[in-house]
Amino acid sequence: MVPDGIRDFFVASGGVAGALIGLLFVAISVSAERLAREEAAGQLHRIRAAAALTAFVNALAVSLFGLVPGQKIGPAALGLAVVGLFFVTASLLSLVRLRQVHWGPMRDAVFLLLLLVTFVFQLIEAAIVIARPVNPGAVNTLAILVIVCFLIGIQRAWELIGGPSIDLTYEVRAMFRMRRGDDDQAD
């Protein structure tokens, strides 16, 4: 059972998820050329797009089922978590199949593992909601997981469209290279 205080959150998050899914479709249509490529880079873009869509659809569906009267959020969240786990497993297998071990695919793997952890927590909390429908704590945790799905989906969508990124590791290495270059010129 969804506590009254959290219903407004599910109303708002359902609207946000719908808007983000619409924007994601625009981003996918703009990135269609990169997504259609056959090489590994194309597969990475497809994984990013599918991860963003999976995260947003999960947030939308959990939010909408949280608004349906009765005890619908538990079974829905459970089913969505299982679908999400299948997606993450397939995506990780795809990265392994690509046999690319450099920072790009590793970052994608890290985000997929974060999504995996999110879906595992969702699975557990959904089971708790099903077993004890009067437990508001589990529903609150599902609401927090909706927020986590938004954050993951936004990050994946940002990378999909090629949004600028400031990577700490890259910047530190660049500073050392620049410094080394200055020292070499001084010699």
Q: What is the pLDDT of residues 122-173, one digit of tens each?
A: 999 999 999 998 888 999 999 999 999 999 999 888 888 877 777 777 788 8
Q: How many domains is the chain built from?
A: 1
**Residue 70 region, left (φ>0) first, then alpha (ψ -120 to 50), else beta?**
left
**Residue 99 region, left (φ>0) first, then alpha (ψ -120 to 50), else beta?**
left
- pTM of this structure: 0.82
Q: What is the pLDDT of residues 4-62, one digit of tens each?
A: 889 899 999 999 999 999 999 998 888 777 777 777 677 788 888 899 999 999 999 99
The domain in which residue 23 lies consists of: 4-186
Secondary-structure percent of the chain, ordered helix, strand, coil, rounded to 5: 85, 0, 15
**pLDDT confidence of residue 118:** 96
